[in-house]
Chains A and B, each alone.
Chain A
Amino acid sequence: MRKLTIDGREIEVAEGTTVIAAARALGIDIPHFCWHPELSVAANCRMCLVEVEKQPKLQPSCQLEAADGMVVHTDTPKVREARRAMMEYLLLNHPVDCPICDQAGECKLQDYYMLYDLKASRLWSEEGKVRKRKRAIFGPHVIYDAERCVMCTRCVRFCAEVVRDPVLIEVHRGDHSEIAVAPGRTLDHAYSLMTAHVCPVGALTSRDFRFQCRVWFLASTPTICPGCATGCNAFLDHHRGEAFRLRPRENPALNRSWLCDDGVLAFRLHNDHRLTAPELGRGDDARPVAWDEALAEAATLLRKVPKTQRAAVLSAEHSCEENWALAAFAREALGVERFFVTGRTAGTADDLLRHADKNPNRAGVRSMLGAEPEPLERLVDEATAGSIRGAVALGAAAATQGPAAAAGLLRLEALVSIAPRRGPLPEAAHVRLPSPSFAETAGTYVNARGQAQEFPQAMSPRGEALEVPDLLARLARRLDLGLPFRSAADVRAAVAPRLPRPAAEGGAP
């Protein structure tokens, strides 16, 4: 252990800790561009210079290892003057095109300019500035503006060290230096949006988010990424009922500071193909109706099917609360004994974050049901054979696809679908009941490691969508059947003891 003093406060840190990390532990934010807690030290931005007693020159705190008896001052006039001078250098050739820059509002150059510089550039003429590449397409998700770049090389180090795909390189020298994609390559690995996210300025920006919304309009709600079974901690950025992006939320035990491209873009599950009103009928006969009519039709259809031929389809895409409510409704009100599970089809995995199971809550479905649910293929088989004739299904995605599966689902005499968006299951249903998206309900996911993680509600449900427990309570009333729960609090209380174990520590909201 090493004991040092930063701004008059003592702290004891492990050997090898840098001064900037020690200061961060004390809650002192030393300005920096190139330093990132998860990346190697570059010490090239020179923004984190601090004064250390008995050392004649200012020291870069990101590279300076904490030593016993070290006395550090992070906010002396000498340090502030160094920061101001650094800002003047960094902004020397900056285009100052904040009005068209997507980073504006969350840009470190803007923040530190307001904190430490606040002076007009002495190189005021546009013609005197070094002009570089603008709007360079780096990959399917990322666009690069060399004039805004401060050459901190965070992106280069992120690609090389975290993704282990060194696709970005530095080219040229001095004020002509810029970031480039390695010859013959594009920035197309699975973490390219994270490459843009680590950029402290507006040099690398997302092509998906480009010009969609100014960041200061966005409200952020902590959430769990619904993209796969890893369950990365994230922030959902949204504005007026529309989601715009997912951002990683630091959790050293799980996703550290990262999120994959599919995760950042998983907000689309909230925006696209939404079901906003109850509907009756299949294909061209589909028509939106009022809730009363839809529930009456669902009740009539379900009544016609004998108990032994009813089934329930749980969804690995949905939270434990929604799945438990459906399982309880099906078991105790409908008398269902056959439970199936649906979800998005499996995809690619890697050893960093991505899990092959593209559903956030398969483990949760298992613990809510208390048994292993059967796969959806078996429901299709039994529907084709005629041994199951009616079902209540949660979720939009069908784990099995293709004409045979669709034909099997169409054989069902009563299929009531509860889904936030359109998809194969709702399309095959006789009654479609809109439910909230992952962002519109609070809940719990259990990830592939068996960690239960709660997330709050970010927005109110779109259109006429109803929370699943509420919706099932109304359906049970239509069927004149009793339910084992009355409110969302009942559902939460029932779910809590069934959860495997509390969430991993370290998820700072």
Chain B
Amino acid sequence: MPYVVRRPDRNLWEQSYVPETVRGLGVTLRHFFRNVFGRRDTVTLLYPEQRRPYPPRFRGLHRLTQRDDGAPRCTACLCCQTACPAECIHIVAGEYPPEHPLAHVEKYPVEFWIDELRCVSCGLCVEACPCDAIRMDTGLHPRPVEARPHLIYERNLLLSISDTAGNVHTANPRKK
């Protein structure tokens, strides 16, 4: 819809430009002198010497949790892969052989890939997991790498990452 753009009405003092510029510079200088010589109230941190603590629910890099015996808690149900909106999870399921001590678990991930480049850190995989096998409580960002494939994390790497307190295990929620 067309409408008339109203120009601001400026008086001579404002229209002459220079006094207003000096006034604006004054505001900047006031803040400058206050922060350099007076009371400091800047929000800037001297990263990386100073770091801001992350909130406890910060969603960092994924990790796969372990059972008490070190095996993956994951049963390869593919719920995370289903929930993932970025389609960055790829799992190949396998079956424990009958003589394996975990034969009663039946299913496990032979391969578990997360493409951290595609991940949008939404946390839906963590919510979808029925076994508490995938978490994003590591407090880590993906490391900078030199080649894209290095950010496609595989099963054993994901299993080795711990949470901020150093834990790699989770309990079976159904046994509680």
Where the two chains meet, the residues of A that have a C-beta atom closer than 8 Å to any C-beta of B are 98-100, 104, 126, 134-135, 210-212, 214, 216-217
Q: Mark B105-146, 1 if CB is under 8 A from A, else 0.
A: 111000000000000000000000011000000000000000
Question: Judging by beta carbons under 8 Å apart, are A99 and B174 in contact?
Answer: no
* Bound: A217/B91 CA distance, A: 13
Contact yes or no, A135 B98, CB < 8 A: yes
A41 shortest CB reach to chain B, Å? 34
The answer to whether A214 and B78 have CB atoms under 8 Å apart is: yes
- CB pair B175–A216 under 8 Å, yes or no, is no
Q: In the bound complex, what is the Cα–Cα distance between A100 and B73 (angstroms)? A: 12
Name the interface residues of B127-176: CB closer than 8 Å to any CB of A: 130-131, 174-175
User: Would B75 and A100 count as touching, CB distance under 8 A?
Assistant: yes
Distance between B132 CB and nearest chain A CB, rounded to angstroms? 12
Query: Which A residues are in CB contact (< 8 Å) with B104?
Result: 134
Main secondary structure of the interface of A (DSSP, over half): loop
Q: Which residue of chain A has its CB nearest to the CB of B94?
A: A211
Known: A98-B77, A99-B77. 7 other contacts (CB 8 A): A100-B75, A100-B76, A100-B77, A126-B174, A126-B175, A134-B106, A135-B98
Q: Is the CB of A211 within 8 A of B93?
A: yes
B78 touches A100 (CB 8 A): no
24 contacts between A and B (CB under 8 A): A98-B130, A99-B79, A99-B107, A99-B131, A100-B76, A100-B105, A100-B106, A104-B77, A126-B175, A134-B106, A135-B103, A135-B106, A210-B95, A211-B76, A211-B93, A211-B94, A211-B95, A211-B107, A212-B93, A214-B77, A214-B82, A216-B82, A217-B78, A217-B82
Nearest CB on A from B35, distance (A): 56
Residues of B contacting A100 in the complex (Cβ-Cβ under 8 angstroms): 75-77, 105-107
B79 cross-chain contacts in A, Cβ below 8 A: 99
Q: How far is B78's CA from A99's CA once the two chains are assembled, in angstroms?
A: 8
Q: Which of the listed residues B95, B103, B175 has the most CB atoms from chain A within 10 Å of its own CB?
A: B95
Question: Shortest CB–CB separation between residue B176 and chain A, in angstroms?
Answer: 10
- Roughly how many angstroms separate A104 CA and B107 CA in the complex, as a whole number? 14
CA A100 – CA B107 in complex, angstroms? 6
A337 to B145, CA, bound (A): 65
Number of residues from B at the complex interface, CB < 8 A: 19
Contacts of B98 in A (CB 8 A): 135
Q: How many angstroms between the C-alpha atoms of A270 and B18 in the bound complex?
A: 79
Instruction: Scan B38-59; emit 1 where CB is below 8 A from any A CB, else 0.
Output: 0000000000000000000000
Residues of A within 8 A of B95 (CB): 210-211
What is the CA–CA distance of A200 and B130 in the complex, to the nearest angstrom? 23
Q: Which of A104, A126, A211, A216 has the most C-beta atoms of chain B within 10 angstroms of its own C-beta? A: A211
Q: Which residues of A have CB within 8 Å of B82?
A: 214, 216-217
Most buried by B among A104, A210, A212, A214: A214
With a cutoff of 8 Å between Cβ atoms, the chain A residues found around residue B103 in the complex are 135
Closest partner residue, chain A, to B93 (CB atom): A211
Q: Which residues of B contact A211 (CB under 8 A)?
A: 76, 93-95, 107
Cα A369 to Cα B25 with chains together (Å): 93
Report the Cα distance A126→B174, complex, angstroms.
8
In the complex, what's the smallest C-beta–C-beta distance from B174 to chain A, in angstroms?
7
A104 to B174, CA, bound (A): 19
Residues of A within 8 A of B130 (CB): 98-99
B105 proximity list for chain A (CB < 8 A): 100
Kindly report which residue of chain A lies nearest to residue B105, judged by CB atoms: A100
With both beta carbons as reference points, the residue of chain A lying nearest to B76 in the complex is identified as: A211
Chain B neighbourhood of A210, CB < 8 A: 95
Residue in chain B with minimal CB distance to A214: B78
Residues on the A chain within 8 Å of B77, using CB: 98-100, 104, 214
A99–B174 Cα distance when bound, in Å, is 13
Interface string of B76-101 (1 = CB under 8 A from A): 11110010000000000111001000
Minimum C-beta distance from B82 to chain A (A): 7
Q: Which residues of A contact B106 (CB under 8 A)?
A: 100, 134-135
Q: Considering the complex, give the chain A residue whose CB is closest to the CB of B104.
A: A134
